[in-house]
A and B are shown apart, each in its own frame.
Chain A
Amino acid sequence: MPEIDAWRAGGNRIALATVVKVEGSAPRPVGAVMAVSSGGDLTGSVSGGCVETAVFEEAQDVLKTGTPKLLRYGITDEMAWDVGLACGGTIEVFVEPLPE
């Protein structure tokens, strides 16, 4: 991702979110990545847009604490108003800070 170098040059810290597991059908496969900067930039994707905003918030937290996080997103009828995937699968996303 060429953006990352530019964000870094601007003095930002970077967190990387990666789809590490997919159960059922999901919009992006294992290996899909999204990068987030401490300045609020975002590039790439981990779903079709369903969970990017939530992952962005989690990534900001990871940048503050410096501790990686494993996130899990799915959808059920009860969760329909919560953050989740429209296509019914479950994904796990690992969020980690990149070394400065």
Chain B
Amino acid sequence: MSVTSTTGTGLFDRLKEALAAGKPVAVATVIRGEPLGAKLLVLPDEVVGSLGDATLDEEVLADAQTLLASERSETRRYAMVGREDGVEVYVEVHPPPPTLLIFGAVHVAQALTRFAKSLGFRVIVTDARAKLATPERFPEADEIVQAWPDDALSQITVQPNTYVAILTHDPKFDEPALLGTLETPAPYIGAVGSRGTNQDRRRRLLEAGVPEERLRRIHGPIGLDIGAETPEEMAISILAEIIASRHGRSGGPLTTASGSIRGPLDSVSQAADPTSPVTAAGRVSTE
């Protein structure tokens, strides 16, 4: 890994570039102690800038990579030789944005694309119907793939952060889309349709030899139970289910839930003090 020293402007330009390219990035900043405001930018194959001390840079680089993997921004205190208080460094992580893959360039997909973009998703819309899958209908989409589901899936890489919404409402499109995406590591696969449609689809997929256990991955009828009627309401219902699924939550009202109201359910409690001193050898207890 190469280390580049650069001015603040250069560092911010590199950060902007990497974010625009959807690369995983971390930025570390000295927020308590000197040099206050010094920054270290951690790119996939390069480190830019410095926190003013080579040993500190190394420790923070290692922590930044761990935090990036766990998608957590955090302030940590570092012990420094000859400095009683050490320094506090804020590490901000920018994991690559999640992708929403929509099968069916239908009316609901238009609202879904718009809302998903404002939530920070990359959005891919795919449909075989040339009249529907157009940039005019989906100006916010990052990618439009006009193809049958099998063909589309051969062109798109479905990753562990690719969320799938199948909205075609037509078995000849949505069943190949389901069969195809069930083979991928997609963390969420939702399929539109009434309870009856879902029962019928389930039966056909079982007959086609899809194991019961695998069918349990499908969220169908898609969305949370908010009584959604319009395309916009359906889009919110679907995105709410996707957000809940990302955080391992069920999506009920907060009045009936307990514990932290934000982020993953299993996240470390905010009461834990992440600023207790750490050294290259690990965290040192202050008590």
The reply to whether the CB of A7 lies closer than 8 angstroms to some CB of chain B is no
**Beta-carbon contact of B75 and A30 below 8 Å:** yes
CA distance A59 to B75 in the complex (A): 21
What's the minimum C-beta distance from A96 to chain B, rounded to whole angstroms?
A: 5
**Beta-carbon contact of A20 and B90 below 8 Å:** yes
**Beta-carbon contact of B9 and A25 below 8 Å:** no
Interface pick from B29-37, B198-206, B217-225: B29-37
**Beta-carbon contact of A23 and B270 below 8 Å:** yes
The reply to whether the CB of B172 lies closer than 8 angstroms to some CB of chain A is no
How many residues belonging to B are interface residues under a CB distance threshold of 8 Å? 21
Chain A contacts for B276, CB-based, 8 A? none
Contact of A99 among B9, B36, B75, B270 (CB under 8 A): B9
The reply to whether the CB of B65 lies closer than 8 angstroms to some CB of chain A is no
**Beta-carbon contact of A96 and B74 below 8 Å:** no
Contact of A96 among B37, B73, B263, B270 (CB under 8 A): B37
Chain B contacts for A18, CB-based, 8 A? 90, 92
Contact with B along A82-100 (1 / 0, CB 8 A): 0000000000101010111
Contact of A29 among B8, B11, B31, B262 (CB under 8 A): B262
**10 more A-B contacts (CB under 8 A) besides A20-B31, A31-B73, A94-B29?**
A18-B90, A18-B92, A20-B90, A21-B75, A23-B270, A24-B271, A25-B270, A31-B92, A68-B31, A94-B90
Binding site for A on B (CB under 8 A): 7-9, 11-12, 29, 31-32, 36-37, 73-75, 90, 92, 261-263, 270-271, 275
Q: List 9 A-B pairs, minimum CB-CB distance, nearest first.
A: A99-B8, A68-B37, A20-B90, A99-B9, A31-B73, A94-B31, A21-B75, A20-B75, A30-B73
Q: List 13 A-B contacts (CB under 8 A).
A: A18-B90, A20-B75, A21-B75, A24-B271, A25-B261, A31-B92, A68-B31, A68-B36, A70-B32, A70-B36, A92-B31, A99-B7, A100-B9
Binding site for B on A (CB under 8 A): 18, 20-25, 29-31, 67-68, 70, 92, 94, 96, 98-100
